[in-house]
Amino acid sequence: MDASIPDDVLRLLRERIGSYERLEIVLLLQQHRDNFWTAESVGRKLNISKSGAAEALDHLCRNNLLDVRIGEEVLAFRYRPGTPTLAQSVKSLTRLYKERRSDILDIVSTNASERLRAMAIRRLRRNDPK
């Protein structure tokens, strides 16, 4: 991996974002930071399922990247990092994504592969008759 990706951006990708869909959602909502988005509107904009968008929005909200507004029948989210440091990391990520998209996608892809491998190992250990 290219060592020139700052540590805060690497941590953000690995610990708070973790997938391509979530990355795309963070970048979309950061670009339109004054707007609230529903899972349906995000799904439509990014061409992903409503349920996939809902899972990703929930994950990003739990990871302190989004604010949520609870309506009568729908949740709406907007970009609102919980700390200035987190906001700066997302700003750096946005710049790097424009400049070095393939490097950022490699990091996200590697992270996803590592998570799948870890899940498989845990399942094998649970099923181990030792």
pLDDT for the residue numbered 126: 72
- DSSP assignment of 60-99 equals HHHTTSEEEEE-SS-EEEEE--SSHHHHHHHHHHHHHHHH
Quick check: helix, strand or coil at residue 16? helix
Give the span between the Cα atoms of 13 and 109, in whole angstroms: 10
Quick check: helix, strand or coil at residue 36? coil
pLDDT for the residue numbered 114: 53
Supply the pTM of this predicted model. Answer: 0.81
pLDDT for the residue numbered 130: 58
Q: What is the mean pLDDT of residues 81-106?
A: 95
Higher pLDDT, 114 or 24: 24
pLDDT for the residue numbered 121: 55
CA dihedral angle for residue 73, residue 28, residue 20, residue 58, rounded to 10 degrees: -30
Asked if pLDDT for residue 23 goes beyond 50, the answer is: yes
Asked if pLDDT for residue 94 goes beyond 50, the answer is: yes
Question: Over the stretch 25-46, which tens digit does the pLDDT of each residue have?
Answer: 999 999 999 999 999 999 999 9
Q: What is the mean pLDDT of residues 78-105?
A: 95
Question: Over the stretch 67-84, which tens digit does the pLDDT of each residue have?
Answer: 999 988 899 999 999 999
Nearest CA to 85 among 4, 1, 6? 6
Q: Sketch out the chain's domains with CATH numbers.
A: 15-126 (1.10.10.10)
Asked if pLDDT for residue 52 goes beyond 60, the answer is: yes
Query: Is the CB of residue 39 less than 8 Å from the CB of residue 54?
Result: yes
